[in-house]
């Protein structure tokens, strides 16, 4: 993109200590980028200690416009929400794509997603199909909202036993046809393409969340403003899920146990924040406390699994 041209899309990649994955992600983005694509690419680094910043500067911050990356260096780890908001401040395009650094863009996933989003002015955001290395779809890219009932059926395993039931699989939304494009409740921050005027209306990412849950809050807020959110499975990306947190077996990086424990606690904190913001006052006291007790129990169980080496999932 020439300096005089205005970008049609700003791509924000938030990085934290995944240097090699970040470089691979950027390579896949530039490989898929055509001469006609007017993209602004922004890397926000959350004070990584693995020389990520130096590597990006060396390869992508030269005077060459063909491989140009705008780099933002945060002085501390601001978390997902606040870190991405720093990138938004520098975004110049009317559409913003939030893309995880532990992903690989396949084919023309970005271009086709942009065309579809722009085809309907009521679409505020979309997520494409996000696949894990084993070929399975990352459930996070296609979800319902975690109401107390949806959360209960999910953690009791009922959504797996009855995946085609809208009543019992409300959170995973597995009763919907994932081979077809359709409107849904909640996409994933792994690949979330957002119309800028929609994001501006909700003031972008909620900084009450540090890690996990931000995308659910984001989509919930968009829906409250009557924006549509779409699942667009016509294209896909590859996600090495958990490479910063180490909580998933798909991670390609060994993460220290203390980091896993901290991120597990952040995940539980996100559940509490969302529940208190949107559902707490809608239920009787005994049920409210029961839900919070369930979240606390889940946090202890997940921490136990990390300490004992069991699978987090």
Q: Kindly list the distances between the CA atom of residue 1 and the CA atoms of 9, 142, 165, 166, 248, in Å, as whole numbers in the listed order.
A: 11, 33, 47, 45, 37
- CB neighbour list of residue 76: distance below 8 Å, 6 or more residues apart: 46, 47
Give 129-172 pLDDT, tens digit per residue.
999 999 999 999 999 998 888 888 887 889 999 999 999 999 99
> Is 162 within a domain?
no
Between CA 246 and CA 241 the distance in angstroms is 8
> Is 88 within a domain?
yes
- 209 and 275 share one domain: no
Can you tell me the mean pLDDT for 186-190? 95
CATH number at residue 24: 3.90.550.10
Q: Kindly list the distances between the CA atom of residue 163 and the CA atoms of 3, 32, 158, 269, in Å, as whole numbers in the listed order.
A: 50, 35, 8, 27
- 61 and 203 share one domain: yes
Backbone phi, psi, residue 183, to 5°: -75, 150
- 213 and 128 share one domain: yes
The rounded percent of the chain whose pLDDT value lies above 70 is 85
Between CA 153 and CA 159 the distance in angstroms is 6
In three-state form (DSSP H/G/I as H, E/B as E, the rest C), the secondary structure along 262-288 is: HHHHHHHHHHHHHHHHHCHHHCCHHHH
Can you read off the two tokens belonging to residue 186?
Answer: 């909640």
Assign 292 to helix, strand or coil: helix
- 60 and 134 share one domain: yes
- 127 and 19 share one domain: yes
- 192 and 293 share one domain: no
Can you tell me the mean pLDDT for 45-73? 87
Give 230-280 pLDDT, tens digit per residue.
999 999 999 998 655 454 455 555 656 666 666 666 676 777 788 888 887
> Is 189 within a domain?
yes
Point out the least confidently predicted range of 35-39, 166-170, 272-276, 308-312.
308-312
Number of domains in the chain: 2
Domain boundary among 239, 271, 286: 239
Residue 127: the pLDDT is 98
Residue 241: the pLDDT is 82
Q: Kindly list the distances between the CA atom of residue 93 and the CA atoms of 6, 181, 257, in Å, as whole numbers in the listed order.
A: 7, 25, 39
Residue 214: the pLDDT is 92
Place 305 in a pLDDT band, splitting at 50, 70 and 90. Answer: confident
Point out the least confidently predicted range of 33-47, 154-168, 216-230.
154-168
- 73 and 216 share one domain: yes
Residue 242: the pLDDT is 67
Can you tell me the mean pLDDT for 26-30? 96
> Is 157 within a domain?
no
Can you tell me the mean pLDDT for 49-53? 93
Point out the least confidently predicted range of 1-15, 42-56, 194-208, 284-298.
284-298
11 burial via Cβ count (<10 Å: 0-12, 13-18, 19+): buried
Residue 61: the pLDDT is 83
* pLDDT of residue 20 exceeding 60: yes
- 117 and 212 share one domain: yes
Which phi-psi region, left, alpha or beta, contains residue 125 (left: φ > 0; alpha: ψ -120 to 50)?
Answer: beta
> Is 4 within a domain?
no
Place 284 in a pLDDT band, splitting at 50, 70 and 90. Answer: confident
- 34 and 138 share one domain: yes
Between CA 310 and CA 151 the distance in angstroms is 22
- DSSP summary character for residue 125: E
> Is 158 within a domain?
no
Q: Check residues 1 and 270 and name the one with the higher pLDDT.
A: 270
Between CA 266 and CA 209 the distance in angstroms is 8
Residue 292: the pLDDT is 74
Taking CA 233 as the corner, what is the angle to CA 230 and CA 238, rounded to the nearest 5 degrees? Answer: 115
- 261 and 138 share one domain: no
Domain boundary among 191, 209, 239: 239
Residue 248: the pLDDT is 47
- CA dihedral 99→44→221→226, nearest 10 degrees, is -60
List the alpha helices (DSSP H) in 136-279: 148-155, 158-161, 196-201, 214-224, 257-278
Half-sphere exposure of 11 (CA within 13 A, CB side): 25
In DSSP terms, 186 is beta-bridged to: 143
Between CA 111 and CA 37 the distance in angstroms is 8
Can you read off the two tokens belonging to residue 228?
Answer: 């549509």
Assign 50 to helix, strand or coil: coil
Domain boundary among 208, 239, 270: 239
* Residue owning tokens 């993209």: 39
In DSSP terms, 239 is beta-bridged to: 103
- 108 and 200 share one domain: yes
> Is 251 within a domain?
no
Can you tell me the mean pLDDT for 169-186? 95
Backbone phi, psi, residue 33, to 5°: -75, 125
Owning domain of residue 122: 9-142+178-239
> Is 245 within a domain?
no
- 86 and 207 share one domain: yes
Give 88-140 pLDDT, tens digit per residue.
999 999 999 999 999 999 999 999 999 999 999 999 999 999 999 999 999 99
């Amino acid at each position: 993109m020439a300096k005089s041209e205005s970008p049609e899309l700003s791509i924000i990649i938030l990085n934290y200590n995944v240097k090699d994955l970040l470089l691979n992600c950027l390579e896949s983005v530039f490989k898929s980028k055509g001469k006609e694509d007017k993209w602004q690419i922004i890397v926000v680094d959350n004070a990584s200690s693995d020389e990520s910043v130096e590597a990006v500067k060396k390869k992508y911050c030269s005077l060459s416009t063909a491989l140009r990356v705008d780099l933002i260096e945060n002085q501390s780890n601001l978390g997902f929400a606040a870190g991405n908001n720093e990138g938004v401040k520098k975004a110049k395009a009317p559409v913003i794509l939030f893309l995880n650094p532990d992903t690989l863009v396949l084919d023309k996933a970005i271009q086709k997603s942009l065309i579809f989003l722009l085809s309907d002015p009521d679409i505020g955001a979309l997520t494409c199909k996000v696949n894990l290395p084993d070929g399975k779809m990352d459930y996070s890219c296609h979800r319902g909202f975690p109401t107390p009932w949806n959360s209960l059926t999910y953690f009791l395993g009922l959504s797996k036993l009855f995946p085609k039931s809208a009543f019992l699989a409300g959170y995973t939304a597995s009763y919907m046809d994932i081979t077809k494009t359709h409107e849904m409740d909640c996409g994933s921050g792994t690949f979330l393409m957002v119309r800028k005027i929609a994001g501006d209306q909700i003031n972008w990412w909620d900084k009450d969340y540090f890690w996990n849950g931000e995308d659910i809050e984001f989509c919930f807020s968009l829906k409250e403003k009557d924006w549509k959110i779409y699942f667009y499975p016509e294209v896909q990306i590859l996600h090495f899920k958990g490479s910063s947190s180490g909580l998933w077996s798909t991670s390609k990086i060994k993460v220290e146990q203390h980091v896993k424990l901290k991120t597990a606690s952040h995940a539980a904190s996100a559940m509490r924040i969302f529940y208190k913001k949107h559902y707490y006052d809608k239920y009787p006291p005994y049920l409210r406390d029961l839900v919070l007790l369930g979240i606390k129990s889940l946090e202890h169980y997940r921490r136990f699994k990390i300490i004992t080496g069991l699978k987090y999932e």
